[in-house]
Amino acid sequence: MDLDQFTRSHFADASAAYEDAAYVIFGVPYDGTTSFRPGTRFGPRAIRELSFNFESYEPAAGIDLADVPLADIGDIEPARLPDLVALQVREVVADLARDGKFPILLGGEHTVTIGAVEALAPDCFVVCDAHLDLRDELYETPYSHGCVSRRVYDAGVTNIFIIGARSGCAEQYAFAGRVTLYTADEVRGRGITAILREIVAATAGKRTYLSIDADAVDCCETPGVGTPEPFGISTYDLREVVRTLAPQVVGFDYVEVCPIDAGQTAAVAAKLIREFIALRWKKEVVGGDQT
Amino acid sequence: MDLDQFTRSHFADASAAYEDAAYVIFGVPYDGTTSFRPGTRFGPRAIRELSFNFESYEPAAGIDLADVPLADIGDIEPARLPDLVALQVREVVADLARDGKFPILLGGEHTVTIGAVEALAPDCFVVCDAHLDLRDELYETPYSHGCVSRRVYDAGVTNIFIIGARSGCAEQYAFAGRVTLYTADEVRGRGITAILREIVAATAGKRTYLSIDADAVDCCETPGVGTPEPFGISTYDLREVVRTLAPQVVGFDYVEVCPIDAGQTAAVAAKLIREFIALRWKKEVVGGDQT
Amino acid sequence: MDLDQFTRSHFADASAAYEDAAYVIFGVPYDGTTSFRPGTRFGPRAIRELSFNFESYEPAAGIDLADVPLADIGDIEPARLPDLVALQVREVVADLARDGKFPILLGGEHTVTIGAVEALAPDCFVVCDAHLDLRDELYETPYSHGCVSRRVYDAGVTNIFIIGARSGCAEQYAFAGRVTLYTADEVRGRGITAILREIVAATAGKRTYLSIDADAVDCCETPGVGTPEPFGISTYDLREVVRTLAPQVVGFDYVEVCPIDAGQTAAVAAKLIREFIALRWKKEVVGGDQT
Amino acid sequence: MDLDQFTRSHFADASAAYEDAAYVIFGVPYDGTTSFRPGTRFGPRAIRELSFNFESYEPAAGIDLADVPLADIGDIEPARLPDLVALQVREVVADLARDGKFPILLGGEHTVTIGAVEALAPDCFVVCDAHLDLRDELYETPYSHGCVSRRVYDAGVTNIFIIGARSGCAEQYAFAGRVTLYTADEVRGRGITAILREIVAATAGKRTYLSIDADAVDCCETPGVGTPEPFGISTYDLREVVRTLAPQVVGFDYVEVCPIDAGQTAAVAAKLIREFIALRWKKEVVGGDQT
Amino acid sequence: MDLDQFTRSHFADASAAYEDAAYVIFGVPYDGTTSFRPGTRFGPRAIRELSFNFESYEPAAGIDLADVPLADIGDIEPARLPDLVALQVREVVADLARDGKFPILLGGEHTVTIGAVEALAPDCFVVCDAHLDLRDELYETPYSHGCVSRRVYDAGVTNIFIIGARSGCAEQYAFAGRVTLYTADEVRGRGITAILREIVAATAGKRTYLSIDADAVDCCETPGVGTPEPFGISTYDLREVVRTLAPQVVGFDYVEVCPIDAGQTAAVAAKLIREFIALRWKKEVVGGDQT
Amino acid sequence: MDLDQFTRSHFADASAAYEDAAYVIFGVPYDGTTSFRPGTRFGPRAIRELSFNFESYEPAAGIDLADVPLADIGDIEPARLPDLVALQVREVVADLARDGKFPILLGGEHTVTIGAVEALAPDCFVVCDAHLDLRDELYETPYSHGCVSRRVYDAGVTNIFIIGARSGCAEQYAFAGRVTLYTADEVRGRGITAILREIVAATAGKRTYLSIDADAVDCCETPGVGTPEPFGISTYDLREVVRTLAPQVVGFDYVEVCPIDAGQTAAVAAKLIREFIALRWKKEVVGGDQT
Ligand SMILES: [Mn+2]
Ligand SMILES: [Mn+2]
Ligand SMILES: [Mn+2]
Ligand SMILES: [Mn+2]
Ligand SMILES: [Mn+2]
Ligand SMILES: [Mn+2]
Ligand SMILES: [Mn+2]
Ligand SMILES: [Mn+2]
Ligand SMILES: [Mn+2]
Ligand SMILES: [Mn+2]
Ligand SMILES: [Mn+2]
Ligand SMILES: [Mn+2]
């Protein structure tokens, strides 16, 4: 891994050197295909800033993040053409995988997920998102934030679970028949616990990637996103997803934070990334295998 | 030159010509009597801007708004004296009624509702509002945002249902005995479904007008309003009101959006106006009569 | 010149002279030790501004605040060294106690609470806070917003009830064994009513001080605070605390409002302070003794 | 309790009681007829807040404002109909004149000036403004911010000097032939000193009122106004106007500050009001007569 | 229904139908390759909004814009790949040229200029810009805001005049030897009048395109741009450019307005576009031929 | 130097390792004694963010910053008591001096300068500031942003040159007799060149420290400061100070940037720091003395 390609800046308590790290955070400040409101390029910066709002000790796990081998290698400098950005991310994540690191990607728009999934080639893809992201193309490019789950599907990862969606064109809703869709209303109606039980059962023993598009959450709770949708899942639902899947996934990203609010969207992101790492580390430390 | 490739600023998917439209949106950017925080004059603009955040397809109705005969004729240029604004709105809505159009009014402060109700002379008035709006006069004028439901009452529409109120002086609470009041705490306690059942029963077969003052919702969910009140109804309660009453009302307005937040208040407004139109159109298309 | 036609900037309806007042509001615009985001010095101003957003009549109590002997004596000009600020507050609250006034303190950062508790020397301390505030020292000073409950404990007020906490280092969680801790998740799980029942039983007949750190509430509801934490208690939980304890406490403060949001955090503060006063006054007027 | 240790929100150093004051500040937080951007109702609050940014000592005059008999009596609660607001201001200023006080009015929109001029009936009216304000009516009302200088003219004060104007309809430019107009470009070309020499000569021995519409200044220097115009006079030009005319005018207002910027517009206002008072007091103290 | 009473969102006073228009405004809300701060996609909207801040009468020209055959056809919906955006613009401007309309393009980032120049194939290119924009490629794409003047040069329009530049890499400064560069310091030192005299002489009788990148102006005057540079030309310099060249150019754009300030940057843009149109129309009306 | 005490983040093009660096940037995000508006703790972050707005090539010097041995070691974590912060800074700067590095300090409030001057013990102190900063104590502490120049004087550096001041109490103006004061009006009147000639003459051959308090500049140009003052020096004056003194000073800081504006204040800071470094490096490289 050539660390010179990254700019410095860091997530709180990410004090390990790259060589010693088990978890590696990096950012992709890209928002070149955004539909509604740009600014997700500032997502990595905002999440890092808010990460300093929290104590290093995570009470949910009983873990102090300062004790975790966590590195933050900074941001890549993204290209402006989205297919090239996907390529950049793919190479970084492939490098991380080769070096035995667990990748934690901070977006940037959702497009950045594509390269990470391509690099890891998981069996399953769990995504929290207000949008189906199943378009084949948007605004003349197939590498768009509106095509993420479709690109993942086309990459052969057809075992897709979408949580919290409530927006898409008729064609996307039709295509959604090929994946497992839990709409936000369904999450609200059935409860996230029941849904996660199904997902855990379906992904047991399989290599799974977890992608969180911040707009999955109701925009009245976390308005700092590029394409805000009301009537979403709650931050508690999202926390349950993270707590449940953290110990078992092979890759993780948190994208689409657009810091135009009072910081609450980035605060939720930073907090859940911290819980993700602490809970995962706790499991590794206390034993039990890990996917 | 093919002019269809250009967007004009309007509500998203409002692509019909006035002549062909069944639904007509117009705005009244007026905030001349505001008490606390001005800026509701920018409400129509904000709602329109946020309307482009959404897909044209409304999954709740299975309707694509691009298929609905919907026109947006823009904003009137309001006078500065509130009684004249009421008059302006009355004339516009009367014209719309004469032309057989369903009016959808975007405020602006709540005062703009008065003229619409006067023009349509409905039997019943259902209003979601944090405030009783039952003053006879406020700051030396009877045409004030604090007198809306009172003006409606005085216009002979005494069959009034107020949902979500939690603010008023003692005199207004006394006057509220003449109308049906569901406070926000009562909505929270009994559930909006039970309350809507009562309202539907009471308004069955009657011409009903629906007015949504955005401050009905808890200001911690949607802070972008002129007079923010905490401890309100939820956006889900409001959605239930819209979904239930959309098919049966004769006029509709959404007022008091003051876009000083990160867009969530206008996002809820735009989304609910979209659902209102889609659900209503669905009913008209699939048959069944309409109030 | 009739000076009564003019408003001076103060808390709305605080129309009594100091001599005639039973309740006295004052502000401490201090934010000198803030960790994450400064600006709580503007908390008193913001709470006062938002207080004018509300009707003088409080429907929950059936009391018009204009009828309550309430004074707002303004802000002290705080020193810059936090130990001196604590001293300033202690002297003001001691003066108020000597004059038979009930003190209502508007922060500023939580540090300002220390002096008030020292002056009143209550038996019990009930605090709503996202943070344990049990550090012995933070950033080289023991008079820090991160040490408030610890200073209270060290001042001999060891009967401490913390509601809503979800952040602290391991040492603070260890120390928390000496106090009664209701975490935010516990409030969410058991319900605030059950918890308040315990607190009321434990504090019965004892002199109790109530301190509200605005960050107790989930930052997705009220993001305008200095150290925003998600996954907190709700505004409804906080209202229940205020409604339950208002009639019985000997001192009250509302701190850590940092007005960088659309006003919702200050709106909740102003509303709850109004309810606090109205409910307490109602009890005094209708009889029954008071701690 | 020593109440003097507390600050009440007012203009900094306005420490005199009304009875003892020679200068009396009051605010009119009215913005009911605003054309472009509302918010001038927050002008008085912003100017007062920024006034605390400055030392009490004014080096230009060698005067400490704390030594000047200056009172701030707060804001009137304005009506919502602009003709009533003019009436309110007229009565306040008439009261002040009767009590022998020099009035300093903080707007609010420019409409508030009308009542002050009516009350004082000066011989001359000097106004700094980007706009001619010579319309006979705007948006259906003659009491509008666009009609100020015209109302003054119609009130018989035809000796009008407009400094910095660069906007008006053709009719207003025609009407401007009856007054003395120094456009912003002329100020820039000839220099403010030469122009002020003419004005001082023309108003010598006459009772003159000075009104400053904050938008006279180039909006790239002070963007916090209701109707921002580039290519205006500079803050230095405005300071020269204030320094030159302060000792001789009979009434003074500073209006149209709309605090949506980083505070610079209110900072200029507060600073110039402070210089106005200090320079005028210096002249009164050191002798010399005063108009 | 009289639809003329409603405003559609467009540039103020752009009341002509496309068929009747001599001047046609359109927007390209594209910011896909922005380096520093996104948001220029909101430039067209902001300029239009601010355009309503001004009187329809332009005193500099003695022309009322309402009398000018001016149309605003709205915004194109841009692709996300910058080379496609250039293509879109080229086709629109070619259509406008074919229809005999004078094009006025509102950006959007500077990249949008490329297509307009390609369509019009002028002899000369005059650009006000803080940046040389002479890179051959930036972030993996030759169609970037950092390559505008280079693309123009490569398109054969080598007669380029850059006014106000103060930023570029060494390679760009080397390439600048092939064009005529007037740095901001040179403008300040020699005066814009002398420089314009040279440009007018050099472009006499030639078909010239004028492109204004808003960041040419000092960012302390107009900070609302994507890549703010201090030590720039003044708004007065820019006005002089517009006033001088308006009557003679064959195409005009105003780009890179990023509305994150208090509106001053868009106010300058709207004002100068209005002056451009008014002055040009004045010349056409009073006679004299036009390039 | 223990680099672990610093948090990472960096100034653009600061690519050297500490060991190899000739210039070392570090930040002190402290705003504990701020009078008016807090937030200068975010100054270092803002200056660094804006530093990426600029090309690495500095045309004024013909130097590419990427070629300069420049390191950014990040921010210290400041204490909350201002005397301790002064101590922290003193130790860092002493370490830098011992290691032969040229220190460039990013504030934070002006208080941070004290420790740097104490560490370097220069012969002369040149400070650009709106304020005299000559108080002996402010708000109960002698280590305050209002006492900086006084602390420097008391540390024995009595050869002080204050440029741009326009605010202070009478006592400070009296004390100013012991230093050389060039008020903002004098800079405007005489021109900065003449004044700098005097300063250069007076400091020739002496070890001089240069401190820039961002509020020296007129707040209408750069409003993002803690205590904004209009009628200041221009950014061009400040550039002249930097260009003139850069080659000869022994220490440099840029303080009091409070990023609440659209970025222009931090843009000026970042640009001038870049010019400072480039011009100084140019001289070191080409050798020879300086004007
Ligand atoms: Mn997505
Ligand atoms: Mn999404
Ligand atoms: Mn209402
Ligand atoms: Mn309401
Ligand atoms: Mn606390
Ligand atoms: Mn707390
Ligand atoms: Mn005016
Ligand atoms: Mn004006
Ligand atoms: Mn450019
Ligand atoms: Mn540029
Ligand atoms: Mn200073
Ligand atoms: Mn200063």
Per-residue confidence in pLDDT tens, chain A, 291 aa: 566 655 445 889 998 999 999 999 999 999 999 989 999 999 999 999 999 999 999 999 999 999 999 999 888 999 999 999 999 999 999 999 999 999 999 999 999 999 999 999 999 999 999 999 999 999 989 999 999 999 999 999 999 999 999 999 999 999 999 999 999 999 999 999 999 999 999 999 999 999 999 999 999 999 999 999 999 999 999 999 999 999 999 999 999 999 999 999 999 999 999 999 999 999 988 764 433
Q: Please tell me the distance between residue B92's alpha carbon and the centre of ligand 4 in angstroms.
A: 24
Q: Average pLDDT of chain F?
A: 94
Separation CA D62–CA D178 (nearest Å): 40
User: Which among F55, F262, F271 has the least Cβ separation from residue E230?
Assistant: F271
Residue of C nearest to B183 (CA): C59
Cα(E283)–Cα(A4) distance, integer angstroms: 58
Which tens digits make up the pLDDT trace of B190-233? 999 999 999 999 999 999 999 999 999 999 999 999 999 999 99
> With bands split at pLDDT 50, 70 and 90, how would you rate the model's confidence at C11?
confident
Q: How many domains does chain B have?
A: 1
Whether residue F229 and residue D263 make contact (CB cut-off 8 A), yes or no, is no
Residue F233 backbone phi and psi in degrees, to 5: -75, 170
Phi/psi for D77 (5° steps) reads: -95, 100
Q: Evaluate whether B15 touches B65 at the Cβ level (below 8 Å).
A: no
Give the mean pLDDT of C126-131: 98
- Interface size between D and E, measured as CB pairs under 8 A: 60
CA of residue D255 to ligand 8 center, whole Å: 9
Distance from CA of E63 to the nearest CA of D (A): 9
Pairing state between β D6-7 and C70-76 = antiparallel
The residues near F155 (Cβ < 8 Å, ≥ 6 apart) are F114, F117, F118, F121
CATH no. for residue E256? 3.40.800.10
Look at chain D and count its residues: 291
Contact D82 B80 (CB under 8 A): yes
Distance of CA B162 to the CA centre of its chain: 13
Query: How far apart are the C-alpha atoms of D111 and D123, rounded to whole Å?
Result: 19
The mean pLDDT value for E180-200 works out to 98
Q: Which helix (H) or strand (E) holds F72?
A: strand F70-75
pLDDT of residue C213: 98
Q: Map residue B213 onto helix, strand or coil.
A: strand
- E65, E104 in Cβ contact below 8 A? no
- In D158-271, which ranges are E strands? 159-165, 180-183, 208-213, 251-255
Instruction: Give chain A's count of helices (H) and strands (E).
Output: 9, 10
Q: What is the pLDDT of residue D8?
A: 57
* Beta-bridge partners for D56: none
In SS3 terms, chain A reads as: CCHHHCECCCCCCCECCHHHCCEEEEEECCCCCCCCCCCHHHHHHHHHHHHCCCCCEECCCCEEHHHCCEEEEEECCCCCCHHHHHHHHHHHHHHHHHCCCEEEEEECCCCHHHHHHHHHCCCEEEEECCECCCCCCECCECCCHHHHHHHHHHCCCCEEEEEEECECCHHHHHHHHHCEEEEHHHHHHHCHHHHHHHHHHHHCCCCEEEEEEHHHECCCCCCCECCCCCCCECHHHHHHHHHHHCCCCCEEEEECECCCCCCHHHHHHHHHHHHHHHHHHHHHHHCCCCC
Nearest to D57 among F168, F220, F231 (CB): F168
Nearest to C206 by CA among C250, C148, C175: C250
CB-CB under 8 Å, D227 with E235 = no
C223/B contact by beta carbon, under 8 A = no
Q: Is the pLDDT of residue F291 over 70?
A: no
Query: How large is the average pLDDT for residues F54-59?
Result: 96
Other C-beta atoms closer than 10 Å to the C-beta of F53 total 21
Cα–Cα distance measured from residue B21 to residue B24, given in angstroms and rounded to the nearest whole number: 7
Residue C222 near chain B (CB below 8 Å): yes
The Cα C161–Cα C208 span in angstroms is 10
Kindly state the percentage of chain B with pLDDT values over 70. Answer: 96
Q: Which ligand is nearest to the CA of C109?
A: 5
CB contact under 8 A, C140 and F81: yes
State which residues have CB under 5 angstroms from ligand 9, the bound ion. Answer: E 110, 129, 131, 133, 213
User: Three-state DSSP class for D228?
Assistant: coil
Of all residues in chain C, the percent with pLDDT exceeding 70 is 96
Is the per-residue pLDDT at C82 higher than 90? yes
d(CA B12, CA F183): 57
Cβ-based burial of C287 (10 A; exposed 0-12, middle 13-18, buried ≥19): exposed
Cβ-Cβ contacts under 8 Å, B221 against chain A: 220-221
Chain B interface, mutation test: which of D30, D31, D33, D80, most B Cβ atoms within 10 Å? D80
Q: Which of residues 172-211 of A touch F (CB under 8 A)?
A: none
Q: Could you read off the pLDDT of E132-157 as tens digits, one per residue?
A: 999 999 998 999 999 999 999 999 99
Q: Is residue D85 part of a domain?
A: yes
Specify the residue for token string 């030392």: D55
- Is the model more confident about E182 or about D35? E182
Residue F251, strand partner residues:
F209
The answer to the question of residue C89 being in a domain is yes
Let me know if residue F290 belongs to a domain: no
Chain A contact for C229 (CB, 8 A cutoff):
yes
Q: CA of C174, closest CA in chain A: separation in Å?
A: 11
> Distance, in angstroms, between A55 CA and closest chain C CA?
6
Task: Give the closest-approach CA distance of E93 to chain A in angstroms.
Answer: 20
- At C291 the pLDDT is 37
What's residue E11's pLDDT? Answer: 85
State pLDDT tens for residues C101-118.
Answer: 999 999 999 999 999 999
The helix-helix angle for D235-245 and D192-203 (nearest 10°) equals 30
F124 within 8 A of F160, measured Cβ to Cβ: yes
CB neighbours of residue F285 within 10 Å: 11
Alpha-carbon span C113 to C102, nearest angstrom? 15
Q: Is the peptide bond before F27 cis (omega within 30 degrees of 0)?
A: no
Range of the domain at E38: 11-286
- Structure confidence at residue D6 (pLDDT): 64
Contacts of C236 in chain B (CB under 8 A): 231
Task: Calculate how far, in angstroms, residue D133's C-alpha sits from the geometric centre of ligand 7.
Answer: 6
Residue C1 lies in a domain: no
Please report the number of interchain residue pairs, chain E to chain F, with beta-carbon separation below 8 angstroms. Answer: 60
Q: Is residue E103 part of a domain?
A: yes
C3 vs D9: CB contact, 8 Å cut-off? no
CA distance B64 to chain A (A): 8
> Residues C216-275: pLDDT tens digits?
999 999 999 999 999 999 999 999 999 999 999 999 999 999 999 999 999 999 999 999
CA of C284 to the centre of ligand 11 (A): 52
What band does C8 get if pLDDT is binned at 50, 70 and 90?
low
SS3 (DSSP) at A27: strand
Across the interface, whether the CB atoms of B231 and C54 are under 8 A apart is answered no
Nearest-CA distance from D180 to chain C in Å? 36
- Which among B103, B81, B107 is positioned nearest to B225, based on CA atoms? B107
Residue E270: CA count within 13 A, CB half-sphere = 29
Q: What is the pLDDT of residues F190-213, one digit of tens each?
A: 999 999 999 999 999 999 999 999
Q: Output the pLDDT for position C7.
A: 57
The token pair that represents B200 in the structure block:
């539907």
Contact assessment for residue D124 and residue D159, using Cβ atoms and an 8 Å cutoff: yes
Above pLDDT 70, what percent of chain E?
96
CB-based contact C132:C147 (threshold 8 Å)? no
| Closest approach of F4 to chain A, Cα-based (Å) | 10
Q: Which of F53, F57, F235 is facing E170, going by the closest CB pair?
A: F57
Which candidate from B38, B39, B84 shows the least CB-CB separation from D140?
B84
Nearest chain D alpha carbon to C99: D1
pLDDT at A11: 86
What stretches in chain D show pLDDT beneath 70? 1, 3, 5-9, 287-291
Q: Are A192 and A207 in contact (CB under 8 A)?
A: no
Residue C56: list chain B partners with CB under 8 A: 169
3-state secondary structure of B204: coil
Chain D: give the shortest CA distance to residue F164, in Å. 13
Q: Radius of gyration of chain B from Cα atoms?
A: 17
Please provide residue F112's backbone torsions phi and psi, each rounded to the nearest 5 degrees.
-65, -20
Ligand of minimum distance to the alpha carbon of A229 = 2
Task: Tell me the two tokens of residue E234.
Answer: 């003044």
The verdict on B223 touching A (C-beta cutoff 8 Å) is no
Cα–chain center distance at D138: 22
Chains contacting A (3+ CB pairs below 8 angstroms): B, C, E, F
Please indicate, yes or no, if residue D2 is contained in any of the structural domains: no
CA of A256 to the centre of ligand 1 (A): 7
- Give the pair of three-digit tokens for residue B218: 């808890």
Distance CA A170, CA A135 (A): 10
- What average pLDDT does chain E have? 94
Residue where the block lists tokens 């002096």: C115
Cβ F132 vs Cβ F172: under 8 Å: yes
CB of F87 within 8 Å of a chain C CB? The answer is: no
How many C-beta atoms surround the C-beta of residue F178 within 10 A?
A: 11
Structure tokens at F189: 């009147």
> Is C276 domain-assigned?
yes
Strands F102-107 and F124-128: unpaired
Q: Where would I find the beta strands (DSSP E) of A50-198? A: 57-58, 63-64, 70-75, 102-107, 124-128, 159-165, 180-183
Question: CA of B268: how far to CAs of A188, A231, B249, C115, D161, in Å?
Answer: 18, 9, 20, 44, 50
pLDDT band at F103 (very low <50, low <70, confident <90, very high): very high
pLDDT tens digit string along A148-161?
A: 999 999 999 999 99
Tokens of C109: 């950062």
CA separation for the pair F158, B36 (Å, rounded): 53
- A139 interfacial to chain C (CB closer than 8 Å): no
Distance in angstroms (rounded) separating the CA atoms of residues F142 and F157: 17
Q: Read out DSSP for F163-223?
A: EEE-B--HHHHHHGGGSEEEEHHHHHHH-HHHHHHHHHHHHTTS-EEEEEEGGGB-TTT--
What parts of chain B have a pLDDT lower than 50? 288-291
Whether C213 has a binding-site annotation, put simply, is: yes
Q: What secondary structure letter does DSSP report for A60?
A: T
- Which of A106, A128, A123 minimizes the C-alpha distance to A249? A123
Looking at every residue in chain C, the average pLDDT score rounds to 95
Annotated binding site of A for Mn(2+): 110, 129, 131, 133, 213, 215
The chains found to touch B (3+ Cβ pairs under 8 angstroms) are A, C, D, E
Residue to substitute from E2, E3, E4, E5, interface B, most B β-carbons within 10 A: E5
- Alpha-carbon gap, residue E254 to E272, rounded angstroms: 9
Instruction: Considering only the beta carbons, identify the residue of C168, C170, C228 that sits closest to A263.
Output: C228
State how far Cα B12 lies from the chain centre. 18
pLDDT at C289 over 80: no
